[in-house]
């Protein structure tokens, strides 16, 4: 299954869990072995593979054991400053996001969803 922005969170977690389980089986590790090597509980490995929510630190530890850490670089790539930002900021690092310049004049109220 392709993971895209239209999938529900639960579907994405289930797909990630399935992929982690497949990688574990490909490397011929049991859940207990992954748990021991990563320093997480066996139950945490079971929950992750079942597609339930888990702690990010547990996922990182398991990815390390499954030799998938390099994939995190593509997940959230390092971002450098844009050339125009460097000119505007005169070499300083940006610390805040700017506000939307186009704003509605009337404040949002309940029932304005349409």
Q: What is the pLDDT of residues 6-28, one digit of tens each?
A: 899 999 999 999 999 999 999 99
**Which range is most confident: 50-59, 93-102, 105-114?**
50-59
Could you tell me the residue ranges of all domains in the chain?
A: 9-75
What value, to the nearest 5°, has the Cα angle with vertex 46 and ends 40 and 50?
135
pTM more than 0.85? no
pLDDT greater at residue 106 or residue 45: 45
Sign, CA dihedral 101-114-4-67, equals positive
Query: What's the Cα-to-Cα distance from 112 to each of 29, 100, 105, rounded to whole Å?
Result: 53, 19, 14
Query: What are the backbone angles phi and psi of residue 23, rounded to the nearest 5°?
Result: -65, -40
Nearest residue to 62 via CA among 93, 10, 86, 71: 71
**Architecture field, domain 9-75:** Orthogonal Bundle (1.10)
Q: pLDDT tens digits, residue range 24-61?
A: 999 999 999 999 999 999 999 999 999 998 899 999 99
């Amino acid at each position: 299954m392709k993971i895209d922005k239209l999938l529900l969170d639960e579907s994405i977690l289930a797909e990630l869990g399935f992929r982690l389980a497949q990688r574990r089986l490909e490397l011929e590790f049991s859940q207990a072995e992954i748990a021991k090597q990563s320093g997480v509980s066996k139950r945490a490995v079971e929950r992750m593979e079942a597609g339930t929510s888990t702690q990010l630190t547990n996922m990182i530890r398991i990815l390390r054991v499954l030799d998938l850490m390099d994939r995190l670089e593509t997940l959230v790539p390092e971002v450098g400053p844009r050339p125009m930002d460097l000119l505007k900021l005169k070499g300083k690092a940006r610390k805040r996001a700017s506000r939307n310049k186009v704003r509605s004049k009337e404040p949002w109220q309940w029932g304005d969803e349409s």
